Amino acid sequence: MERGGFHGYRKLSVNNTTPSPPGLAANFLMAEGSMRPPEFNQPNKTSNGGEEECTVREQDRFMPIANVIRIMRRILPAHAKISDDSKETIQECVSEYISFITGEANERCQREQRKTITAEDVLWAMSKLGFDDYIEPLTLYLHRYRELEGERGVSCSAGSVSMTNGLVVKRPNGTMTEYGAYGPVPGIHMAQYHYRHQNGFVFSGNEPNSKMSGSSSGASGARVEVFPTQQHKY
């Protein structure tokens, strides 16, 4: 069985699957919450992604089973029961779905010589793989997400700048490590940030002035990451 995009994904026996403790899930949610502002201001979390990559654990290969069951019950009648093996099967199906779509999205990135998988790549991959019903709701979701998160960014522009500076100070080593892993990376690619798309499938190019600005400030990769903040102000 040849699966170009999945050769790094290994599947073990279902019997080894254990649901993650509620506490652990809560920790994930809390961690995610605390990381929210940096996440928005820095679209490419390269160093963080690199760090996480080394600590992938067995139970991290699936979504938390409690979350999965909660979602399932939303569409099932009240009297419905769910067998344990079907709960685990849905868990596996979700991971397979993520890997399936990610593989297709990543191949598109590579064809276009880009290194960052964007939300548009994910939507494009879904459409390519037949999940057409998903595109319109998700495109709307993405637009609304950007509107609301963008407003927060604008209203807290000073805070955003401050946090960005802090991030730059704290992460230079991580950033350089990332560069070392992939060789020299043009700064302009890091600055590719698509804000307020009108169409989920169309990439709006950066303004020429913006590109020049990005290039001129590209003394270091970390510095270029400040660039997206400027777009919040218009």
Residue 190 contacts residue 225 (beta carbons within 8 Å): yes
User: Which of 19, 46, 214, 229 is close enough to bind other proteins by CB under 8 A?
Assistant: 46
Distance CA 166, CA 168 (A): 5
Handedness of CA 151, 155, 156, 157 (dihedral sign): positive
User: Which of 19, 65, 100, 191 is close enough to bind other proteins by CB under 8 A?
Assistant: 100
Q: Contact region for other proteins (CB under 8 A) — 61-69, 161-169, 204-212, 219-227?
A: 61-69
Distance CA 103, CA 122 (A): 10
Burial 151-167 (b: 16+ CB within 10 A, else e): eebeebeeebeebbeeb
| Residue span 192-211 as binding mask against other proteins, x where in contact by CB under 8 A, dash where not | ---------x----------
Least distance from other proteins to the Cβ atom of residue 41, Å: 9
What backbone phi and psi angles, to 5 degrees, belong to 130? 100, 0
- Which of 117/216 has CB closer to other proteins? 117
Is residue 65 within the footprint of other proteins (CB under 8 A)? no
Least distance from other proteins to the Cβ atom of residue 56, Å: 6
Footprint on residues 149-178 left by other proteins (CB under 8 A):
149
Is residue 134 within the footprint of other proteins (CB under 8 A)? yes
Structure tokens at 154: 């604008």
Least distance from other proteins to the Cβ atom of residue 37, Å: 10
Q: Contact region for other proteins (CB under 8 A) — 114-122, 160-168, 169-177, 211-219?
A: 114-122
Least distance from other proteins to the Cβ atom of residue 157, Å: 18
Q: Contact region for other proteins (CB under 8 A) — 119-127, 162-170, 205-213, 219-227?
A: 119-127
- Which of 136/207 has CB closer to other proteins? 136
Other Cβ atoms less than 10 A from the Cβ of 74: the count is 7
115: three-class secondary structure by DSSP = coil
| CA separation, residue 35 to residues 41, 122, 216 (Å) | 10, 22, 29
Is residue 2 within the footprint of other proteins (CB under 8 A)? yes
